[in-house]
Amino acid sequence: MDIHNATEDIVFSKIRTIFDSIKDEGNPEKFCLCNQCQMDTACYVLNRSEPRYVVSNRGVARLENEGIERQQIEADIASLVYEGLKRVNHNLRPDAVHSENLAGRAAAPNTPVFNIPTIVGRIFNGTTFAPMAGIKIELHRNGELVIMKDCNWQNPYSLVSNTEGTFTFWPNPIPAETPEARKIFEYLVKIESPGYEPLNHFFKIPVTSEIQSAVSFSMGRTFKLPDLYLFPPNSAEEEMQYNV
């Protein structure tokens, strides 16, 4: 099934046009116009724009013929692009390389790799069952921190309150000798936080190698962990004494 969101085309086109226009004018407001800030601006606009899905060339043709409505949509999106650009520049990602000389993500070479799926989990307070926040979660393999796919995915992962205890990792692909090879990879989620017992959760992911590295994130390619719980020191012993 091939479903396309036509709003994305308008958003990406407007971003290119507006960013190029700002560059041609000498960028008087000194905006960062790097690839990372373009992607962040696109996410800002798309999250505030109504999607317009099509599944055929007729759908595309119909959208092209909605003249007045399309003009209004483009005007609204242009306004959101400027708004998003200002907000993105007000809070630049500290872990990204902000340089206009860097192109977008390079095309992946056709060499076999194990594309590790996105790892998704949740962590709760073991005594209150409330989602955890304000802690760091590490993903390890072979005793080392796992390198992530790109700078938009962090390891350690800093857990914030608005994610309801959910954490995610997208490990970098691992080279393979041939496509269609099957291998099991062992990982460790490690959490050490003041006021709680350390937590080490080991798990395995079976992966089949592919001819090319995945270049985009997909919710359809995820590995979900069981819910994890952090406990204060001696809480388990205290609960056992209470129940005796």
> What is the pLDDT at residue 235?
62
Q: Which H or E run contains 231?
A: none
What is the tens place of the pLDDT at every residue in 2-32? 677 888 888 988 999 999 999 999 999 999 9
Give the dihedral of Cα atoms 159, 163, 164, 167; nearest 10 deg: -50
> What is the pLDDT at residue 239?
47
Q: Which H or E run contains 24?
A: helix 6-24
What is the tens place of the pLDDT at every residue in 104-143? 444 445 789 999 999 999 999 999 999 999 999 999 999 9
Q: Answer whether CATH 2.60.40.1120 is correct for domain 113-243.
A: yes
**Residue 186: is it exposed, middle or buried by C-beta count within 10 angstroms (0-12/13-18/19+)?**
exposed
How many angstroms separate the CA atoms of 119 and 98, rounded?
27
> What is the pLDDT at residue 66?
59
Arithmetic mean of pLDDT over the chain: 84
How many angstroms separate the CA atoms of 158 and 196, rounded?
16
CA 192 vs CA 135, 140, 180: distances in Å: 8, 13, 37
Let me know: does 19 contact 33? Beta carbons within 8 Å. Answer: yes
Grouped pLDDT means (10 residues each) for the chain, 244 residues? 77 91 92 89 92 66 60 89 92 72 50 92 94 94 92 88 90 93 97 94 96 73 93 66 42
Got the DSSP string for 52-83? -EE-SHHHHHHHHH-HHHHHHHHHHHHHHHHH
Spell out the domain ranges in the chain: 4-90, 113-243
Structure tokens at 138: 């590490």
In the three-class reduction of DSSP (H, G, I as helix; E, B as strand; rest coil), residue 208 is classed as: strand
User: Cis omega before residue 232 (within 30°)?
Assistant: no
How many angstroms separate the CA atoms of 232 and 161, rounded?
19
Let me know: does 203 contact 99? Beta carbons within 8 Å. Answer: no
The length of the chain, given as a count of residues: 244
